[in-house]
């Protein structure tokens, strides 16, 4: 797994700054005031910092901006970064500064001279997340990054403050690695193996193989993978950090590669379908973070792992399959496969665990990208309280999410002439009819949110 930047915490005296090698970062408030470390660097560099602070470049720069002074006199460091940030920044301002710094981090070590700056843990969090790169399959080591050293007035206190964010970063990196892996590496089997390895940090893991899935009656999930040589699986991950209460359930779509099956996708861009397991990747990352943080909660993560391939044994348009719930489904489009996977896993989660609530995540529809672009995930829910809590959390973290409706009129579009339902509802409201399909496999007393993350799981350019 790609590891977040190595971070160490120090209490460094100002007389040690001149000898620091690599890169130095100092902070300056919007009104141009330097802290003790900044004043020392300014003195050592023969007032290079103060000259910059008097420039129009600094005056016009927004909060969180990073400016590089290269090869300054008087210090061993090759670069001094000047970060414009209030002494008590908001969380967003601090993370923005960290992101801007993370863009510049190279192979040399970085010394972050933060003194008593408030919110430095959020600067570090932004830096660590922005510094992610997936270079596993490159023969060059161009993506190698230096270590980060943080010099503050109370290193142990900052280390404790940063620990929960470091656990989140570990989970984020795990999700990103899984989503970036090519399908010839991340098969259903190797995906399951990586999840079983989470037992090392206290997660109870169970892999349901095809024989068990047949016995459970998961005909909806199994039909998706029947054209592939990779066996379909369901992986159950349990984190029991709470009391005796029933767990909250997270359910993820894990299509390790999606050709569309017999309803074959166009060739252009099909290579991106390695990310069609993004929902399962998020569930895996969340479970890892919960364990690393020792969360005081009971959570179960369930992922359906399949590969959707065309072959002589693949499910055909027009076939009728039977779900674990017992409902029959006319498969009119084999490329609407994610909902077939989720239907059985959602039902299994409720039958086995009776969860207090349930959220599923899936790169489910192209229609959500048409509707919301790459800025927002689509949110659907049968429970206002759960939905509002999720939307509030998304807003707090700066993650785009937008609620869309569910209604019986959309449900009517799923009527089938030969089965209980069909798996598509036509072009209109495609994301909504997909959510309506899933809702048929959610019990009335189970609070539920469906997150369609097709537009935000993997993007080709930098996001705001």
Q: How far is CA 144 from CA 109, 180, 335, in A?
A: 11, 18, 39
* Rounded Cα gap, residues 149 and 151, in angstroms: 7
How far is 386 from 394, CA to CA, in rounded Å? Answer: 12
Collapsed DSSP state (helix, strand, coil) of residue 239: strand
Distance CA 138, CA 264 (A): 30
Q: Which two tokens stand for residue 97?
A: 């500064």
Report the CATH number of the 7-151 domain.
3.40.220.10
Domain with CATH 3.40.220.10 in the chain: 7-151
Would you state the structure tokens that stand for residue 430, as one six-digit string?
């495609």
The residues carrying an active-site annotation are 265, 339
Predicted pLDDT at 463: 73
Residue ranges of the chain that CATH labels 3.40.630.10 = 174-452
Intervals of the chain under pLDDT 50: none
3 alpha-carbon distance from chain centroid: 15
Residue 180 CA to its chain's centroid (Å): 12
Closest CA to 447 of 357, 361, 385, 359: 357
Q: What is the pLDDT of residue 141?
A: 62
What is the per-residue pLDDT for 145? 78
Q: Are 145 and 102 in contact (CB under 8 A)?
A: no
Cβ density class 61-100: b for 16+ within 10 Å, e for less:
bebbbbbebeebeebebebbbbbbbbeebebebbbbbbbb
CATH number of 174-452: 3.40.630.10
Phi, psi at 454, each rounded to 5°: -60, -35
């Amino acid at each position: 797994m790609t590891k977040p930047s190595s971070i160490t915490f120090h209490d460094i005296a100002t007389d040690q700054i001149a000898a620091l090698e690599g890169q130095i970062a100092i902070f300056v408030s919007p009104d141009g005031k330097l802290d003790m470390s900044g004043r020392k660097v300014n003195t050592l560099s023969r007032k290079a910092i103060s000259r910059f602070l008097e420039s129009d470049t600094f005056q016009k720069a927004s909060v969180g901006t990073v400016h590089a002074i290269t090869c300054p006199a008087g210090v061993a460091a090759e670069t001094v970064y000047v970060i414009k940030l209030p002494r008590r920044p908001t969380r967003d301002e601090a993370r923005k500064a960290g992101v801007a710094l993370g863009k510049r981090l190279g192979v040399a070590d970085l010394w972050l001279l933060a003194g008593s700056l408030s919110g430095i843990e959020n600067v570090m969090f932004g830096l660590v997340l922005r510094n992610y790169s997936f270079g596993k399959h490159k023969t060059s080591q161009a993506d190698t990054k230096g270590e980060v050293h943080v010099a503050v007035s109370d290193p142990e206190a900052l280390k404790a403050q940063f620990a929960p964010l470091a656990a989140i970063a570990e989970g984020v990196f795990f999700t990103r690695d899984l989503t970036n892996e090519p399908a010839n590496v991340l098969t259903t089997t190797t995906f399951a193996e990586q999840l079983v390895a989470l037992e090392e940090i206290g997660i109870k893991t169970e892999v349901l193989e095809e024989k068990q899935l047949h016995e459970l009656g998961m005909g909806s999930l199994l039909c998706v993978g029947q054209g592939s040589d990779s066996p379909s699986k369901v992986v159950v991950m349990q984190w029991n950090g709470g009391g005796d209460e029933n767990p909250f359930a997270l359910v993820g779509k894990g299509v390790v590669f999606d050709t569309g099956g017999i309803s074959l996708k166009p060739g252009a861009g099909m290579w991106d379908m390695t990310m069609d397991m993004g929902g399962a990747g998020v569930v895996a990352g969340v479970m890892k973070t919960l364990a690393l943080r020792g969360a005081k909660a009971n959570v179960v993560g369930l992922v359906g792992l399949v590969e959707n391939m065309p072959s002589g044994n693949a499910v055909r348009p027009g076939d009728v399959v039977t779900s674990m719930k017992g409902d029959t489904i006319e498969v009119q489009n084999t490329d609407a496969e994610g909902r077939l996977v989720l239907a059985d896993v959602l039902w299994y989660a409720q039958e086995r665990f009776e969860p207090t609530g349930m959220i599923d995540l899936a790169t489910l529809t192209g229609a959500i990208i048409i509707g919301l672009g790459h800025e927002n995930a689509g949110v659907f829910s049968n429970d206002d309280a759960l939905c509002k809590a999720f939307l509030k959390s998304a807003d707090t973290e700066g993650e785009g999410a937008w609620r869309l409706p569910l209604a019986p009129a959309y449900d009517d579009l799923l009527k089938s002439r030969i089965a209980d339902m069909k798996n598509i509802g036509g072009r209109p409201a495609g994301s909504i009819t997909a959510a309506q399909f899933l809702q048929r496999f959610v019990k009335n007393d189970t609070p539920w949110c469906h997150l369609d993350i097709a537009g935000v799981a993997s993007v080709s350019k930098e996001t705001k």
